[in-house]
Amino acid sequence: MASTPFRSRRIVVACGLVVAFMLVIARLVNLQVMQSAALTVKADRQHQKNVMLEGARGTIYDRNSKVLAMNMDVPSVFGVPASLGNPGVTARNLSPILHVKATELEKKLKQEKHFVWLARKLEPEQGRRLERLALDGVGVVMEGRRFYPKGPLLSHVLGFAGMDDRGLEGVELRYEQYLRGEKRAVVLQRDALGRAVFPKGLNEEGAAGGHSLTLTVDEVIQYIAEKELDEAVSRSNAKSGTIIVMDPKTGAVLAMAVSPRFDPNTVGALAPDRWRNRALTDTYEPGSTMKTVIAAAALEEKVMTPGSMIYGENGQFSIANTVIHDHEKTGWMTFSQMIQKSSNIGAAKVGMALGEWRVFDYLKDFGFGDKTGIDLPGETVGLLRGPRQWGKRSLASISMGQEVGVTPLQMVTAVSAIANGGVLMKPFVVSEIRNAKGQLVAQTMPQAKRRVISADTARTLTTLLEGVVTSGTGGKAGIPGFRVAGKTGTAQKVDPRTGAYSSTLLVGSFLGYVPAEDPRLAMIVVIDEPRGEGWGGVVAAPVFRRVGEQVLNYLGVAVDEPVKLAMAGLES
């Protein structure tokens, strides 16, 4: 048995231990219960990292799945002025990589800020060089940047996205809600070194990327159209030009070229005027190409037949105290010849035979004065006043394509209706939308708006329009081996200085389709303010031929009439 002093020491030690344990328990209760909420928040703040993830913007493909626009993570460089020893030396090291003057960088690095952007969205190679340099007080973060690898190709249709990755023009703007990547806030568990910790970090899924779009446009057809348009605009010293190539049976746009072009990769320095898609935002007086619609109305209403005789008044016709002129003095001519020769007087008389309301109704039916409904932003309705607002000469003027404002897109949509047998289609540029996993989200099916003329009328009119190319004003649009139907147009523009029609400011155009029997392409070529000879048959028809010939070859469309062997080596 232990002695009394030893027992008392044991009791003291035991009591001490009990008190110590009591203190520990008290502290535990204090930490775990009393301060639980506050400490949990503090711990979470240290262990958890809130990150806002944003999926990459969706890719845009052409009809053959060729990439036209896509996102890529690229380096952005920032500086932490407080952590810099010598801003001057750092600036001199950074300058050759960032291609920014050292003095400018030094100025930024000397600011009294915790964080300053030095350069954003650089090329990947610049980021790799910066990483090798490993400068103190300089950091690199990755940001999504929009790339348009084909440069200016299709730029007016694609539009562009801004620095914040938001669509600002074209398809990029129209389909912003689909292209934009998912934005999601996630909480990552991290260790003392800031690394993500399993299992929480593993289970967090990244934000889904945006939907991808497949366009109806074919990059090769687009290239052919842009190349020929640029050459034509340059050759004729014109202000601008437009070509639209459409599949007349579906309304799918195969190419939409606007000259001058722009590169969406470097859009910052350009004036908004350069990136406006003139094919659907700008209106012009179509001139004689409008006679196709008047002719369609006259044939459909049986006001005219191809053989109907019209008197050409020997080139001068007075109406409402004004005189309408024809470039060729003609006496009697058939309706068919009137189209071939593009007689203004003949067109005015056909319009008068139809009457104001029927002319207006057919123009409305063919889509003038309304948006076509294409899935691109900025489309205008053009200008088509109601008959109650017409003057005494308006009926004659409108019948020959004056006093009416149209867009190239409206014109090509209208001629597509003649080409496909009489049905007005809704034009479109996006055929498919797929999510980030490649699953189909939406598909655009060809949409018929209404029947505007009968199939018989369309066939008869096609024959008349073929005559324009074989023996009329559109001879230069002829493509060997193919029957081409089309119409030339030359419209005078209003001179802003005088307020009257100018004899030098013209819009030359050609509107047509090929092969005439079973059309694969409907096309409009518009050359705005060409210098020198501005006739549609001179400036626009040859462009139609060059584009048509190359595109038909590319599509492998078989010839539809005997071909003259008139080439070197085979020529007799």
Partner 1 sequence: MKAVAFAAVTSLVLLFVWERVDIVRIGYHIERLKAQKVLLERERDELRVKLSGLTAPERIARLASDKLGMMQPEKGQVVVINIEPEAPANPVVAEGEVRIAKNIVTRRAR
Q: Please, which residue, 495 or 561, has the CB nearer to partner 1? A: 561
Instruction: Out of 48, 54, 63, 73, name the contact with partner 1 by CB under 8 A.
Output: 73
Only segment of 86-94, 199-207, 398-406, 452-460 that touches partner 1 (CB under 8 A)? 199-207
In which residue are the tokens 């029997």 written? 517
Pseudo-torsion of CA 273, 274, 276, 280, nearest 10°?
110
Residue 175 DSSP code? T
Task: In angstroms, give the least distance from the CB of 516 to partner 1.
Answer: 16
Pseudo-torsion of CA 110, 113, 115, 117, nearest 10°?
-50
In the region spanning residues 541 to 570, those forming contacts with partner 1, defined by CB under 8 A, are 545, 549-550, 552-553, 556-559, 563-570
Task: In angstroms, give the least distance from the CB of 419 to partner 1.
Answer: 20
Q: At what angle do helices 291-300 and 408-419 cross, to 10 degrees?
A: 40
**E strand or H helix at 344:** helix 344-354
Task: In angstroms, give the least distance from the CB of 219 to partner 1.
Answer: 6
Instruction: Report CA Rg, the chain.
Output: 35
Instruction: Out of 45, 195, 327, 450, name the contact with partner 1 by CB under 8 A.
Output: 195
In the region spanning residues 149 to 178, those forming contacts with partner 1, defined by CB under 8 A, are 149-151, 153
**Nearest to residue 123, comparing CAs of 104, 145, 100, 138?**
145
Residue 32 DSSP code? I
Q: Please, which residue, 418 or 557, has the CB nearer to partner 1? A: 557
Number of residues that bind partner 1 (CB under 8 A): 44
Only segment of 194-202, 349-357, 415-423, 425-433 that touches partner 1 (CB under 8 A)? 194-202
End-to-end CA distance of the chain: 139
Instruction: Out of 49, 66, 120, 239, name the contact with partner 1 by CB under 8 A.
Output: 66
Residues in Cβ contact with 280 at an 8 Å cutoff, skipping those fewer than 6 apart: 372, 374, 376, 378, 379, 380, 407, 408, 409
Q: Please indicate whether residue 342 is annotated as part of the active site.
A: no
Q: Please, which residue, 475 or 480, has the CB nearer to partner 1? A: 480
**Nearest to residue 140, comparing CAs of 151, 153, 152, 129?**
129
Only segment of 70-78, 97-105, 389-397, 506-514 that touches partner 1 (CB under 8 A)? 70-78
Task: In angstroms, give the least distance from the CB of 220 to partner 1.
Answer: 5
**Nearest to residue 330, comparing CAs of 342, 319, 348?**
342
Is residue 147 a contact point for partner 1 (CB under 8 A)? Answer: yes
In the region spanning residues 224 to 243, those forming contacts with partner 1, defined by CB under 8 A, are 227
Alpha-carbon separation of residue 376 from 278, 280, 517 (angstroms): 12, 9, 31
Is residue 139 a contact point for partner 1 (CB under 8 A)? Answer: no
Task: In angstroms, give the least distance from the CB of 159 to partner 1.
Answer: 18
Only segment of 44-52, 216-224, 379-387, 531-539 that touches partner 1 (CB under 8 A)? 216-224
Is residue 223 a contact point for partner 1 (CB under 8 A)? Answer: yes
* C-alpha of 551 from chain center: 21
Q: Please, which residue, 66 or 166, has the CB nearer to partner 1? A: 66
Question: Beta-strand (E) ranges in 116-202?
Answer: 116-119, 138-147, 183-189
CA angle 514, 285, 355 (to 5 degrees): 90
Q: Please, which residue, 70 or 303, has the CB nearer to partner 1? A: 70
Q: Residue 446, exposed/middle/buried by CB under 10 A (0-12, 13-18, 19+)?
A: middle
The one catalytic residue among 288, 342, 343, 509: 288
Q: Please, which residue, 220 or 458, has the CB nearer to partner 1? A: 220
Task: In angstroms, give the least distance from the CB of 126 to partner 1.
Answer: 13
Q: Residue 80, exposed/middle/buried by CB under 10 A (0-12, 13-18, 19+)?
A: middle
Task: In angstroms, give the least distance from the CB of 16 to partner 1.
Answer: 31
Is residue 53 a contact point for partner 1 (CB under 8 A)? Answer: no
Report d(CA 278, CA 256) in Å as an integer: 10
Instruction: Out of 81, 201, 315, 373, name the contact with partner 1 by CB under 8 A.
Output: 201
Is residue 142 a contact point for partner 1 (CB under 8 A)? Answer: yes
**Contact indicator for 206, 181 with CB cutoff of 8 Å:** no
Instruction: Out of 12, 14, 36, 124, name the contact with partner 1 by CB under 8 A.
Output: 124
Is residue 14 a contact point for partner 1 (CB under 8 A)? Answer: no
Cis status, amide bond into 260, omega within 30 of 0: yes
Residues that bind partner 1 (CB under 8 A): 66-68, 70-73, 124, 142, 147, 149-151, 153, 195-199, 201-202, 219-220, 223, 227, 480-481, 545, 549-550, 552-553, 556-559, 563-570
Q: Which residue numbers are catalytic?
A: 288
